[in-house]
Chain A
């Protein structure tokens, strides 16, 4: 259901530093806004993003309402071995999204 995009190179040389770009479709409602009737709009954000490389966590981000809608995160990791990169977003109201990418390391 959740719409997420990732950009990971398909292949890399062993020891290369690869750039990873991720984007999750999410409104990131801050919890500080009100409707015109003065009713506070409850907070609804992605709070955590984790990237695992063959099951080992290599990057984690803790997000707050200050992060823009559709959070974009770019980071890097060292291509150590062929395998799967797993990306996991989780947040308020039970929000979760998962995406995987295969990388071949030569």
Chain B
């Protein structure tokens, strides 16, 4: 009686484990097929920031968390700054992890902008992180990262012949 129940337990447990493996392995395998290798975003960010520290905060990257169409994704970057002569945002840089190139856009602004906010529309090749970095007039760097899921990827399709 005891053996039978142990055997049943093992059968069920084995089945569950096998099922879990299948469920987890299939998406992983598909992701491997679709995803291009990571670009060199960390190195590009490092060369921008140099020896300065990349702080987290002040920047707000506004981008939809779930994107149906990667060809046209609205993206807004806001930076918490008074935008005065003494204290303003000098530049805003946007980077992606999995597009063929890490750079998306660079915006150069100054105290005459009045408000540190820029909106544009971008292409995204894959489910990934997008990073916005702002350089302040005092030389400090601040950043925000957003993770988003892309269902229809841009950049990978071919033109009709």
Contacts and interface: CB of A to CB of B under 8 A. Distances in A.
Interface stretch (A69-77, A86-94, A96-104): A69-77
Contacts, number: 108
Given A36-B160, A67-B121, A67-B122, A61 B73 contact: no
A78 interface: yes
Interface in A35-90: 35-37, 41, 53, 56, 58-69, 71-78, 80
Given A75-B113, A76-B114, A60 B108 contact: yes
A66 B101 contact: yes
A72 to B, nearest CB: 5
B104 interface: yes
Contacts of A30: 100, 123, 155
B118 A64 contact: no
A87 B123 CA distance: 23
Interface of A: 17-18, 30, 32-37, 41, 53, 56, 58-69, 71-78, 80
11 contacts: A36-B158, A61-B107, A65-B101, A66-B101, A66-B122, A67-B121, A68-B72, A68-B122, A73-B118, A74-B118, A76-B117
Interface of B: 71-73, 96, 99-101, 103-110, 112-115, 117-124, 155, 157-161
